[in-house]
Chain A
Amino acid sequence: MKKKLFVIGGSLAGIGLIAGLIVYFFVFNKPHRNYAEATPDFDLKAAALFEEFRTNPQLSSVKYNGKVLSVTGELNAVEQTDSLTIAVFGFEEGMFGSEGVRCTMIPELAGEVVKVAPGTIISLKGLCTGYNDTDVILEHCSLEK
């Protein structure tokens, strides 16, 4: 009887431990989404995306915010700050300089876009986080092959 209780107790503890580990690793510490490997929700021209946000920011926010977008356009510039590499598709010269679609590159993949000459047509994929009244912002971007 004692042995049976021991086996049952041990089994329950084992199951509890496994369940706890699953919750810890796959819920509490689940990894961030790998946007470089994600399938885009929308595939569109960078100019069209910017125009949609510029003319109807609210509707476009509902449609695109939080979605993975693949945008294609003529690379305007690549800006580098201390910690960011940002590929810029510029379409309008506003009060704040060039306005358009700004794509923050995944740091490990930023080197790919740095090598691209301005004026080249490229496609970038990333997470759309919204429109800040001057630019559409894409984060976690990678250059599409």
Chain B
Amino acid sequence: MKLRIIFLLVIIMGVGNAQAQKYITKNGHIRFFSSTPVENIEADNRQVNCALDQQTGDFVFKVLMKSFEFEKALMQEHFNENYVESDKFPSATFNGKVKNIGAIDFSKNGIYNAVIEGDMTIKGITKKVSEKGTFEVKDGKVLGKSTFNLLLADYGIKIPNTVANNISKSIRIDVDVNLEKLAK
């Protein structure tokens, strides 16, 4: 509900400005990747909600944890039941801003560097994050990309000793969102 309010605020706050434009997707893609000498584990979620306000730089994500798909069914079970406890914490969110939104020319095709800061909430734990990414403006659409690492311990995700060598303590996150202009 909280993110719904944030989503609505992102939209409503720009209503007064006729030039304000929002970009959204309901099919954002987030992949996480764990690499250890024993094995690599990756999972994909292609049903990520994301919104960007071109004027204010407000940038929000909502990710359903049960939508992550693993190659192996057992990994998916462990992820949901033991690590992220998706029954108790069904979603993860990011609520932040593109700090240099003014440097991105949404009317001109090109690839622009972006600095994104905000609050990441996973498993009920919120941490400040600051990451770099790019926005590629192409014919009115905006392709946002970022790659960064998260420490599992920061979000209270404990790895049992029995599989400690199989799962990296630091997980690489790849974000890939193809944002389209919100129809007025």
Q: How far is the CA of A113 from the CA of B122 in the complex (A)?
A: 35
Contact A97 B64 (CB under 8 A): no
Q: Which one of B4, B46, B72 lies within 8 Å of A133 (CB-CB)?
A: B4
- With a cutoff of 8 Å between Cβ atoms, the chain B residues found around residue A57 in the complex are 1
Q: Which one of A62, A127, A130, A135 lies within 8 Å of B26 (CB-CB)?
A: A135
- With a cutoff of 8 Å between Cβ atoms, the chain A residues found around residue B67 in the complex are 129-130, 137, 139
Q: Which one of A29, A31, A62, A81 lies within 8 Å of B87 (CB-CB)?
A: A62
A95-B8, A129-B47, A130-B90 given as contacts; is B27 within 8 A of A84 (CB)? yes
Q: How far is the CA of A137 from the CA of B51 in the complex (A)?
A: 18
How far in angstroms is the closest Cβ of chain B from A137? 5
Contact B62 A132 (CB under 8 A): yes
Contact B182 A104 (CB under 8 A): no
Best-surrounded residue of A57, A129, A135, A137 (most CB of chain B within 10 A): A129
Contact A102 B26 (CB under 8 A): yes
Contact A132 B49 (CB under 8 A): yes
Contact B46 A84 (CB under 8 A): yes
- With a cutoff of 8 Å between Cβ atoms, the chain B residues found around residue A137 in the complex are 47, 64, 67
Contact B72 A130 (CB under 8 A): no
Q: Which one of A31, A127, A133 lies within 8 Å of B49 (CB-CB)?
A: A133
B52 contacts A by Cβ under 8 Å: no
Kindly state the interface size class of chain A when it binds its partner. 20 to 34
Contact A104 B47 (CB under 8 A): yes
Q: How far is the CA of A97 from the CA of B24 in the complex (A)?
A: 10
B86 contacts A by Cβ under 8 Å: yes
Contact B51 A96 (CB under 8 A): yes
Contact B7 A96 (CB under 8 A): yes
Interface residues of A (CB under 8 A from B): 27-33, 57, 61-62, 65-66, 79, 81, 83-84, 86, 95-97, 102, 104, 127, 129-130, 132-135, 137, 139
Interface residues of B (CB under 8 A from A): 1, 3-4, 7-8, 11-12, 24, 26-27, 46-47, 49, 51, 62-67, 69, 72-74, 76, 80, 86-87, 90-91, 182-183
8 cross-chain pairs, A with B, having the tightest CB-CB distances, nearest first: A133-B4, A129-B66, A130-B64, A129-B67, A95-B11, A32-B73, A130-B90, A132-B62
Contacts A129-B64, A133-B49 supplied; 17 other A-B pairs, CB < 8 Å: A29-B72, A30-B73, A30-B74, A33-B73, A65-B86, A83-B46, A95-B7, A95-B11, A95-B182, A129-B47, A129-B66, A129-B67, A132-B3, A132-B62, A133-B3, A133-B4, A137-B47
